[in-house]
Amino acid sequence: MASIRLGDEAPNFTAQSSEGEIIFHDWLGNSWGVLFSHPADYTPVCTTELGTVAKYKKEFEKRNVKVVALSVDGLQSHRGWISDINETQNTTVNFPIIADEDRKVAVLYDMIHPNADEKATVRSVFVIDPDKKVKLMITYPASTGRNFDELLRVIDSLQLTAYHKVATPANWNNGEDCVIVPSVANEDIPSLFPKGHIEIKPYLRMTPQPNLN
């Protein structure tokens, strides 16, 4: 199948997970979602990643985000590995891990890259909005663990820019000034951005983050 692109509807699927059957779109409901794959159970980098996600659960919940992991290993393997994650990472895995032994979901989301590994999934990340549209895709090699602080930062930007006519500049963090999008006319700025703005160039107009008091 064709690769998924930004703005596409996230493919729906039914799969078994460590927390029972998941019908993906129903499971997401009105939440944002993060679907991320890892190459295999009982691997060192993945163990640290899933432990980190468990520790960040409250941060995801604050942003109305549900998180689900996936690998091509089975449920029994997942359950045994979860015990290791809890022990070694001093946490409790509190989100589902999909068992994708037949690789249906991995193929649906183009998570297997044959030039990297013919069987295991790469470290794919998909952020999906409540309309089930794909808003972000990041792909890491198996050797590089993900930065979940960066993922939270990106989600903050996606949620801000979904509801306000702004974009976020390089290295932006929640609470910092934003860029007014070029489609906003100068005469409309005062009503849209009552906190004021600074025009650095006609195409580069900065304003305080609009969704903060």
Cβ contact 166:160 at 8 Å: yes
Question: Where are the extended beta strands (E) located within 100-213?
Answer: 123-128, 134-140, 166-167, 178-180, 198-201, 204-207
Per-10-residue mean pLDDT of the chain, 213 residues long, equals: 82 94 97 91 91 96 96 90 95 94 86 58 86 94 90 96 96 96 95 95 96 84
Prediction pTM value: 0.90
For residue 53, the model assigns a pLDDT of 95
Fold entry, domain 14-145: Glutaredoxin (3.40.30)
For residue 180, the model assigns a pLDDT of 97
For residue 213, the model assigns a pLDDT of 75
167's CB contacts (< 8 A; 6+ apart) are: 161, 178, 179, 181
How many CA atoms lie within 13 Å of 33's alpha carbon, on the beta-carbon side?
24
- Residue spans of the domains in the chain: they are 14-145, 164-207
d(CA 133, CA 140): 21
User: Strand, coil or helix: what is 143?
Assistant: coil
Give the residue carrying structure tokens 């930004």: 6
Helices (H) and strands (E) in the chain, counts: 7, 11
For residue 124, the model assigns a pLDDT of 87
How many CA atoms lie within 13 Å of 104's alpha carbon, on the beta-carbon side?
9
d(CA 106, CA 93): 22
Question: Which class is domain 164-207?
Answer: alpha beta
For 127, counting Cβ atoms within 10 Å of its Cβ (0-12 exposed, 13-18 middle, 19+ buried), the class is buried
For residue 1, the model assigns a pLDDT of 46
178 is catalytic: no
Of 22, 28, 46, 134, catalytic:
46
